Chain A
């Protein structure tokens, strides 16, 4: 919200400097976003006259203007539809810094024609919201003068008001807060009732159903007004805070809205048929509103109608059919209270953002219904004249006289700050609370404009807010036995990530969403879809991290990277999971290891990602013997080059392998991509292995190599398991050191060479004994697999 320092000083007598006031505002919870000195800004602009207008040779919508700035004739290209010869305009000469400080006016060519400055719209210089055309200054504005000569010096303060403080959506409320904190003296308004001379011609009725959403509605008929341009003081006050003056009647309501957060509405009384009724819509009613939009009401929305037509969406926006114009003679003034929840709901459903909605949904002061109508009447009489009726009304001002019983010791208990009774009472009095003491406890009733005050904590906040948050002491809460704090899951995740970083993978973070298009490529159905995605690229929750990682691969390859090794730890989503999500760890490798003088480069392959996966599992204390591999990875993997990890407790842990070539192609990646993924939610408990008893006696170990020719389909693990079955106590190591297919080996067969280490613990093996063991191993493999021992 914007207001000027002079406006504030209407209600705050203070000698404090602007910067001191701004600092205080921020420390009161009214954050100052910006302070603008309009003089410095306006000094950059000149009043100029358009002396000639021609069509632009290269663009239909643009005009070539000759503009006299009092000294020179400038050529300026202008796109405004309203530019015409003889018009007095606001010129931004070359070098002008616009509101957005990065935008500086420069000499430039627009569609091939040089332009030596810019003609400004209201919006461009912060004097209103109109951006459709340029400002048409009054004839008497003197060509060559600075724009600042037309506007008095104003310091404009832009503050951010938190949703609980609707009272500070008015300058009056801000002044009260500042006064309470010692920044000056609050100057209270003195409002006297204007006596009506006749009974209002238009009466008000709130329908029974609408009483809870519109508990009170005041109105007043004023006849023979003369609507006109507002006087200068009013216009300039509104312009300074960024509002465009329209006509006195409209400007007065806007002024009071900012002055004391009292939204008002003025109907053209001659456009009203009969009386007004506030009612709940049945649904389907149509209204063309002041912003020229058509809205269709739905059931239960609160609205205002006369005997014939719908006139207004209550508390949000008026209808165009009953609006005031310059020739309006008789008016009906509305001052009402609408339920915040109802206004918020209607506003959200119809998607209308108006200032009235913003204020009503945050809650206005119910008392201001009666005060506001008098204040508005007074201003209308002063500016537009007329004769006023008595106030007509329906309903009662909803005053909730809540009482809060408060023990002052609570403040220290809650903040560590000791506050004296004197300070306590003084702060609350200045904020408008009624304070009485009953024994050791206070009885407090908050003012009508502070509907946000409900309980003890609210009172405490008021006290420390005004007294100063900076006065609250601070106490450290470090503990001495931090090692006892349980952060196991954090530690485990960090360890896993570190082990992958050591394997050469870099950690990335991608969106939790992905595109439906990618989900389809991956054959993923039943995705959790986002109802309101920010783009169609991010419209479903990811069922796997891999598609996002593939996008990352392509992005980096397009950027000239030759190898991409990434991993991510994060959630994937599926409605069949508990809480719809599980934490996955997924990684990809694409490209090849670096060229090096000691090591030939080689493309990554499935055994790189298998090792990545084994590394993580080892990091989680799950050795290879705690899981088995199967050939049943999902369809987005290469059927022949992929596998799954299956824990002994039957849970599927994850997958690894080459991504299906068809999918890679659809992601426009030209080289194979290898991936792994591991479900961290279903990992079994650590596999605890006790250290073996160490035998210090050193008996001779025996190493023997065998090569088998066997069916290609038989997995090496089968051979290893068969070997281990024999003499498992003696065998300390089984290692496959060669796998060969091709020349010399029959079609459909392969040769596997295994090296076996026998390590006796209590004796030295005799030759005959070794012979027997080897024979057993060989026959076991041969009998079970049909393998043939390869002769050396």
Chain B
């Protein structure tokens, strides 16, 4: 009898070991523990034995039962693990496939450049001021010490509006200086980015372009502050700490003394690299605000003095970002915009 049990145990063990699916394993369980199962039958047969034998036999059967149960559980876990893993394996996807399309556009390089410029000047305390594109003769010229028939007016090919007396498209952002001083008294520091217009169109001129004007007025602002401000700006904008910056005398009717600002560069055939390289590149104009301009704006020139500057946005963008054709800024060519535009996280630390 005990030999029989041992054989049975071996038989069942073997079956369990050989089982390959959970279904198979389940039928073994029924075969062993079902109502008419092999072990069940053994247990049932206990009732027919005398008490002293029953106890001993019962113990043995229970041992076998426990052993088989453990085996079944282990096998069950093994089989289900491998079945799940097989199933997951089958569900594998191609992770290199592209995700749902997220169509992102680009910021215009003019926006990016103005934002970078504004950010640098903001660190020096300049607030943004705005003025109208359609100006009058007074704000665009006269109040900036450019009287009628002044030769400097000829350098500004001005667009005039039909039938509107003295209305014109501003030729520079400098009138914002005047507009601001009409509303606000010094001390002040402003920058004024915006569209400007000149009746000129060729490879290096477009009828519309962008400038950023700057004005700083206070009691003790002098040319050394102008120099510091512009040098810091140039170096920060072009991200070259030791960028050579040169101030040379020039003429603007609204500043005195006036200066043209050059930055160092390396030039060879049709290529320009900003930095130390022996050549100079003109990038902006500036100077101390002319006392006549202060007078027109009713600022007491004996109390306040300061500087102003003006820079061309497209020119800065072209130099910094390697854009070669000025006219391409205004073509709305999507390929160009994608190439030179900025995604919103690009250079975000600079604006």
Q: Which B residues lie within 8 Å of A541 (CB)?
A: 134, 161
* B199 near A361: Cβ-Cβ < 8 Å: no
Indicate if the CB atoms of A475 and B225 lie closer than 8 Å: yes
Q: In whole angstroms, how far apart are the Cα atoms of A286 and B197 in the complex?
A: 36
B:83-106 near A, CB below 8 Å? 97-101, 103-106
- Are the CB atoms of A530 and B160 closer together than 8 Å? yes
| Alpha-carbon gap, A47 to B337, bound state (A) | 53
- A192: interface (CB < 8 Å): no
Closest chain A residue, CB of each to CB of B197: A512
**Closest residue on chain A to residue B99 by CB atoms:** A598
**Is the Cβ of A508 less than 8 Å from the Cβ of B337?**
yes
> Is B259 at the interface (CB under 8 A from chain A)?
yes
Produce 1/0 per residue, A497-525, CB < 8 A to B.
Answer: 11011111111111111000000000000
Partner of A556 from the list B163, B288, B332 (CB cut-off 8 Å) is B332
Is B50 an interface position by the 8 A CB rule?
no
Assess whether B31 is interfacial by the CB under 8 Å rule. no
Chain B residue nearest in CB terms to A540: B162
**Which chain B residue lies CB-closest to A162?**
B251
Contacts of A489 in B (CB 8 A): 128, 130
Judging by beta carbons under 8 Å apart, are B118 and A487 in contact?
yes
Asked if A596 and B224 make an inter-chain contact with CB atoms under 8 angstroms apart, the answer reads no
- Which residues of chain B from 199 to 230 have any CB-CB distance to chain A below 8 Å in the complex? 199-201, 207-208, 216, 220, 222-225, 227-229
B162 touches A479 (CB 8 A): no
CB distance from B304 to the nearest CB of A (A): 12
Asked if A476 is an interface residue, CB under 8 A from chain B, the answer is yes
Q: Is A529's beta carbon under 8 Å from chain B?
A: yes
* Chain B residues within 8 Å of A415, by CB: 222-224, 257
Cβ A490 vs Cβ B118 within 8 A? yes
Q: How far is the CA of A414 from the CA of B132 in the complex (A)?
A: 32
Interface range, B side:
35 or more
CA distance A340 to B256 in the complex (A): 21
Q: Measured between C-beta atoms, what is the minimum distance from A758 to chain B in Å? A: 33
Which chain A residues (539-557) contact chain B, with CB distance < 8 Å? 541, 548-549, 551-552, 555-556
Q: Are A529 and B163 in contact (CB under 8 A)?
A: yes
Determine the distance from Cα of A169 to Cα of B201 in the docked complex, in whole angstroms. 28
Q: B199, B291, B332: which contacts A566 (Cβ < 8 A)?
A: B332
Stretch touching chain B among A80-88, A383-391, A466-474: A466-474
Whether the Cβ atoms of A501 and B104 lie closer than 8 Å is yes
Contact of A344 among B98, B149, B155 (CB under 8 A): B149
Q: Please, how many angstroms separate the alpha-carbon atoms of A769 and B291 in the complex?
A: 80
In the assembled complex, the Cα of A517 lies from the Cα of B115 at a distance in Å of: 35
- Does B303 lie at the interface of the complex (its beta carbon under 8 Å from any beta carbon of A)? no
Q: Does A603 contact B (CB under 8 A)?
A: no
How many contacting A-B pairs (Cβ < 8 A)? 255
**Whole-angstrom distance between the alpha carbons of A476 and B125 in the complex?**
12
**Which of B54-62, B70-78, B242-250 lies at the binding interface?**
B242-250
Report Cα–Cα, A414/B220, bound state, in Å: 8
B4 at interface by CB-CB < 8 Å: no
CB distance A581 to B149 under 8 Å? Answer: no
Kindly report which residue of chain A lies nearest to residue B287, judged by CB atoms. A461
Interface stretch, picked from A25-33, A199-207, A617-625, is: A25-33
- Segment of A35-43, A262-270, A435-443, A452-460 engaged in the interface with chain B: A452-460
Say yes or no: A529 contacts B162, CB within 8 Å: yes
> In the complex, are the beta carbons of B224 and A556 less than 8 A apart?
no
- B174 at the A interface (CB under 8 A): no
Residues in B neighbouring A596, C-beta threshold 8 A:
98, 100-101
Q: A703 to B223, alpha carbons, bound, how many Å?
A: 72
Q: Which of A162, A531, A534, A548 contacts B162 (CB 8 A)?
A: A531
- In chain A between 83 and 124, which residues have their CB closer than 8 angstroms to a CB of chain B? none
Alpha-carbon gap, A31 to B251, bound state (A): 11
Name A413-447 residues within 8 Å CB distance of B.
413-417
Nearest neighbor of B110 in chain A, beta-carbon distance: A509
State A753–B161 Cα separation when bound (angstroms).
56
Minimum CB–CB distance from A382 to chain B (whole Å) comes to 35
Say which residue of B99, B201, B224, B249 sits within 8 Å of A27 (CB atoms).
B249
Knowing A362-B151, A498-B344, the reply to whether A559 touches B105 (Cβ < 8 A) is no
| Measured CA separation A581–B228 after assembly (Å) | 36
- Verify B232–A478 contact, CB threshold 8 A: yes
With both beta carbons as reference points, the residue of chain A lying nearest to B179 in the complex is identified as A579
A534 and B125: CB pair below 8 A?
no
How far is the CB of B152 from the nearest CB of chain A, in Å? 5
With A416-B223, A487-B122 as given contacts, are A559 and B249 in contact (CB-CB < 8 Å)?
Answer: no
**Contact between chains at A507 and B160 (CB < 8 Å):** no
With CB as the reference atom, state the residue of chain A lying closest to B289. A457
Jot down 10 A-B pairs with beta carbons below 8 A, ordered by A: A27-B249, A28-B249, A163-B152, A414-B288, A457-B288, A464-B249, A476-B228, A498-B107, A580-B132, A581-B133
Please list the 8 inter-chain residue pairs (A to B) with the smallest Cβ-Cβ separation, ordered nearest first: A29-B249, A416-B224, A504-B103, A162-B251, A552-B332, A461-B257, A506-B105, A474-B227
- Chain B residues with a Cβ under 8 A of chain A: 97-101, 103-108, 110-111, 115, 118, 122-128, 130, 132-134, 148-152, 154-155, 159-164, 167, 169, 195, 197, 199-201, 207-208, 216, 220, 222-225, 227-229, 231-232, 246-251, 256-260, 288, 290-291, 305, 329-335, 337-338, 341, 343-344, 351
